[in-house]
Structure 1
Amino acid sequence: MAMNVLPTGARTPDGALELRREFTVCAAELWTYLAASDRTALWFGRWEGDPGSGEVEVLLSAEEGTPREKVEILSCDRAAYRLAVRTGEGADVWQLELSIEEAENGSRLVFKMPELDPNMAGSVGPGWEYYLDRLVAAVSGANADDVRFEPDYYPALSGYYEALFPSQSG
């Protein structure tokens, strides 16, 4: 059964993709879903390695074939609940910035992806909506695998993100 997923992303004045999600758990609890391998495994993928080295390898459990991806940790501030990472190779290198804020009834995750290539917006925007909704499911105790990428997020949300980040080559 297909869900009717609505896009939530925005384009910031500096051109970044920004997505937000609200949670009923406190910021410290939500942080564990970004930083602890057993918790990231519930929605994104388990990571291996020593974060102190500045790099870990993530097994992307929601992707076909469970590929491994190197993730460079650019900054990690546990006290302020801020994490910045870089992932990908060649032309497909992405920087991600995640921060958690205390909110009235729990916490709020703010996800930013600076310098999103407009030619990739139609798949990247729906992809991050999908992963953040998997995070919402995991934090709430639901099964993140019940969140389906196709067709609920892709291609359903592609047009929204293509319009939000129009290609200069068109």
Structure 2
Amino acid sequence: MSTRATGTRTSDGALELRRKFTQSPSELWSYLVNSERLALWFGTYSGDPDSGAVDVVLLAEEGAPSEQVEILECDPRAWVLKVRTGEGAESWQLELQIHAEGTGSELIFQMPGLDPSMAGSVGPGWEYYLDRLTAAVSGGDVGTIDFEKDYYPALSEYYEQLFQAK
């Protein structure tokens, strides 16, 4: 599998990745907020999302680590999900929005405030996860998506250059 970098850097410095789907926005939304469907490509969560935080087990990571994820916004009417992981300087904000596109949908993933020194690993990481989402939604085999073989370090240089000081 030949993987190519698709991410861009927005005018305000956020990492942005987009994926198109034949599924409706509401169908795609379920892969972001339903723990069983989230598990197909990312991880499971436990806890009550209405509390503002859940514990996520990252199933595709070595050792399946868990981390608390703060839910900043979850709007199923607008198909917007914003979360924060980590703490302090180690925190990441992730923003996902789904738009209807014809009979399908488009997912726009953004990571504002990406530390440019981390772009060479973070960019390939999100390419990997969003390709896993694409495979899961289409009924493909996410197990054939290989981070070390196809994403890292193969896409690192692209993201390092994209996030060099401007």
TM-score bracket for this pair, using the shorter chain length: over 0.9
- Name which of 88, 91, 103 aligns with 2:89: 91
- Length-normalised TM-score, structure 1: 0.95
Asked if 2 retains the 8 angstrom alpha-carbon contact of 1:126 and 1:158, the reply is yes
Q: Take 1:90 and 1:12, find their aligned partners in 2: how far apart are those partners?
A: 23
1:70-109 equivalence runs, <5 A: 70-109=68-107
- Length-normalised TM-score, structure 2: 0.97
SS in 1 for 2:149: coil
Task: After superposition, give the CA deviation of every residue in 1:105-135 in whole Å (9 maximum; x if it has no partner).
Answer: 4000000000100010000000000000000
Please name the residue that 1:32 is paired with: 30
Q: Take 1:22 and 1:7, find their aligned partners in 2: how far apart are those partners?
A: 15
Displacement of 1:167 in angstroms is: 5.3
The structure where helix makes up a greater share of residues is 2
Across the aligned residues of Structure 1 and Structure 2, the Cα RMSD in angstroms comes to 1.0
Asked if 2 retains the 8 angstrom alpha-carbon contact of 1:119 and 1:167, the reply is no
Structure 1 runs, 4 residues or longer, greater than 2 Å off: none
Calculate percent identity across the aligned residue pairs.
64
Q: Where in structure 1 are there 5+ consecutive unaligned residues?
A: none
SS in 2 for 1:31: helix
Q: Take 1:50 and 1:143, find their aligned partners in 2: how far apart are those partners?
A: 29
Task: After superposition, give the CA deviation of every residue in 1:65-86 in whole Å (9 maximum; x if it has no partner).
Answer: 0000110000111100000000
Displacement of 1:152 in angstroms is: 0.4
- The letter for the 1-side match of 2:116 is P
Please name the residue that 2:118 is paired with: 120
Q: Where in structure 2 are there 5+ consecutive unaligned residues?
A: none
Q: Take 1:129 and 1:6, find their aligned partners in 2: how far apart are those partners?
A: 9
Matched, 1:41 2:39: yes
